Amino acid sequence: MKKEYFGTDGIRGKVGNFPMTADFALKLGRAVGKVLVTKEKPLVIIGKDTRISGYMFEAALEAGLVSAGVDILLLGPMPTPAIAYLTRTFRASAGIVISASHNPYYDNGIKFFDSEGRKLSDEIEYKIESLINEQSTSVDSDHLGKAIRIEDAPGRYIEYCKRALPTKLSLQGLHLVVDCANGASYHIAPSVFEELGAKVTAIHNEPNGTNINANCGATSLGNLQQIVLKEKADLGIALDGDADRVMMVDKKGEKVDGDELIAVIAKHRLDYENLKADIVGTKMSNIGLELAMTDLGLKFWRADVGDRYVIQKLRECGGMIGGENSGHVIIRDCIETGDGIIAALQVLRAVVETKQPLHELKQVMKKYPQVLINISIKKSIDFEKSIAIQAAVKEVEQQLLGRGRVLLRASGTEPLIRVMVEGQNGAETQQFAEKIADVVLSECT
């Protein structure tokens, strides 16, 4: 059964358009509160990124939760993985993040963690949805919840991140450029790397409510690449708006994506800790990652796109490292959700302990040319039942002759259909992707 409001990563949309309205957030908070009132006084943590609309949704959720008898800890701007961590450490019933991750400022979203800092189960999401449109009620005044603002949340998370590296390991001697995407990590990420000994040049760390992800961060590396080269830095680190994903730039100014970061971390863990656990990617992961892991003697699994599915597959197969080429990287012995800062620290550990630059470490995998075209759609379509689209896909697959892949998928967070083609020849792969994209576009407009 399809959910009415929840997507692959909570609820998300354009601010002011249903369901991203203050009224809906109030009802959502009340519904969540009703689901959580299984003990005398449940506690919920709320954090957000730096979007101007975060104030509105924070207040609406707070009102709904308090009316259901839930106590609240307000953390202010904090990375999504920090909410997962602090939900556990405060022994809270749930954590809520107000963020649209890598989307522009005019979008926002609301996502949840359970008491273990994990994404909510489908069962709980269905239960919340069933209560959203119930008649508005409030507990008696003597059972209303209270809201308290926690001032030391950033410091708590900074110390947690630092513990992801061995105690005696220092980043001294490394010059890092850190792009905070004008998002939730602006007051955290530079401090983490500086306190571990690195020289840090922080950029895009002055949020104003509307500049989050604007030509910066993990989805826009151009400025970071230029500054890494200009500063002659060892590497660059680009987080997205809520810091749950990371991309990097090596000293030559070349992009290092999530697949390559996973490969670097996995090889280092294998070489230095003999960690032979399975590796999990997604249907979008470059085939070069799969081949590299196989060459290392590690089993590689593909999950559906979305970090919740990667985490699910990691638990099923007993894996420790997984993620997406978009930069969600999960290191399960550190935290069971995508964490851009933690992932970057694992890569830096490999750089320090091997005494090799990132440009050399990433050679562990050879990337196959991969072309991704995002198609904005005005109407939904079941492309698996479209005769024209399936004919185009079949034709391209026949021309690839087993030397590549074709993947079509609808975005879980935006009105897009993603066309991905992978092959050995870059120009040919581009032509194939454009051919399929033209057919998809004609069917969706």
Which one, of 342, 348, 299, 343, lies nearest residue 325 by Cα? 343
Same domain (yes/no): 301, 398? no
Q: Domain for residue 362, yes or no?
A: no
What's the CATH number where 268 sits? 3.40.120.10
- Token output for 138: 């409030």
pLDDT for res 442: 87
The tokens describing 10, both together, are: 């909570």
Give yes or no: residues 100 and 41 share one domain.
yes
- Is residue 264 domain-shared with residue 320, that is, in the same domain? yes
Q: What angle do CA 9, 317, 311 make, to 5 degrees?
A: 15
The first and second tokens of residue 152, run together, are 């030391």
Per-residue model confidence (pLDDT) at position 163: 96
> Do the Cβ atoms of 280 and 322 come closer than 8 Å?
yes
| Rounded CA separation 71/93 (Å) | 10
- The answer to whether position 360 is within a domain reads no
- Count H helices, E strands: the chain? 14, 18
Q: Catalytic pick from 101, 191, 285, 326?
A: 101
pLDDT number for residue 9: 85
Does some domain include residue 343?
yes
* Whether 25 contacts 39, CB under 8 Å: no
Alpha carbons 38 and 345: distance in angstroms, whole number: 38
- pTM over 0.85? The answer is yes
Identify whether residues 267 and 238 lie together within a single domain. no
Residues 217 and 269 both lie in one domain: no
Within a domain: 356: no
> Hey, CA dihedral for 150, 129, 126, 35, is it positive or negative?
positive
Q: Which two tokens stand for residue 332?
A: 């399960």
Which CA distances in Å does 349 have to 113, 289, 343, 388, 393? 28, 20, 10, 49, 42
* Residue 21 and residue 139 in one domain: yes
Same-domain check for residues 249 and 261: no
Query: CA 303, CA 233: separation in Å to the nearest integer?
Result: 35
CB under 8 Å to 406, separation ≥6 — which residues?
393, 396, 397, 400, 420, 421, 422, 432, 436
Active site residue 170: no
Does one domain contain both 206 and 251? Answer: yes
Dist. CA 185–CA 202, nearest whole Å: 11
Domain termination site, one of 255, 290, 325 = 255
| Per-residue confidence (pLDDT) for residue 415, from 0 to 100 | 79
**Phi, psi of 357, rounded to the nearest 5 degrees:** -70, 160
- Is the residue at 245 inside a domain? yes
CA distance 63 to 57: 10
Same domain for 233 and 262, yes or no, is no
- SS3 state of residue 236: strand
Q: What is the CATH number of the domain that holds 398?
A: 3.30.310.50
| Amino acid found at 157 | Y
pLDDT averaged over 10-residue windows placed end to end, the chain, 445 residues: 87 96 97 82 95 98 96 98 96 96 97 92 94 90 95 97 96 98 98 98 98 98 98 98 98 98 98 96 92 95 91 96 96 93 98 98 94 85 87 93 84 82 92 94 82
- Do 35 and 120 belong together in one domain? yes
Q: Taking phi first (over 0 means left), then psi (-120 to 50 degrees means alpha), and beta for anything else, what does residue 197 get?
A: left
Domain of 83?
11-151
**Closest C-alpha among 228, 193, 229 to residue 340:** 193
403 and 422 belong to one structural domain: yes
Q: What is the pLDDT of residue 319?
A: 97
Domain boundary residue among 255, 281, 312? Answer: 255
Q: How many domains does the chain have?
A: 4
**CA distances from residue 284 to 175, 223, 232, 306, 410 in whole angstroms, order as listed:** 32, 26, 32, 10, 12
Q: Helices marked H in 142-239 — which ranges?
A: 153-162, 189-195, 222-231
Task: Please indicate, yes or no, whether residues 251 and 304 belong to a single structural domain of this protein.
Answer: no
Instruction: Look at residue 38 in the predicted model and tell me its pLDDT.
Output: 66
Asked whether residue 1 is domain-assigned, the answer is no
Residues 6+ apart with CB under 8 A from 237: 176, 177, 178, 179, 189, 193, 246, 248, 249, 340, 344
Task: State the pairing for strand pair 321-323/279-282.
Answer: parallel
- Letter for the amino acid at 296? L
Q: d(Cα 222, Cα 328) in Å, to the nearest integer?
A: 20
Give the pair of three-digit tokens for residue 392.
């185009």
365 domain residue, yes or no = no
Choose one of 151, 168, 195: the last residue of a domain: 151
